Amino acid sequence: MKNTVKLEHFVALKEKDLQKIKGGEMRFSKFIRDFLFQRKK
């Protein structure tokens, strides 16, 4: 169950990242990704 929720969250995050990269805010999405990875640990 936990893995499914994580996967859904990851897919949503990927979609957001793609939107931000399209908007030219690559650095901002990178910052969010780093922050989320820190929380995971």
Domain count for the chain, please give it.
1
**Rounded distance between C-alpha atoms, residue 28 and residue 41, angstroms:** 21
At 12 the pLDDT is: 84
At 41 the pLDDT is: 59
Are the CB atoms for 21 and 29 separated by under 8 Å? yes
pTM: 0.34
Domain of residue 14: give its range: 2-40
Q: If you average pLDDT over every residue of the chain, what do you get?
A: 75
pLDDT-derived band at 24 (thresholds 50, 70, 90) equals: low
**Rounded distance between C-alpha atoms, residue 34 and residue 22, angstroms:** 19
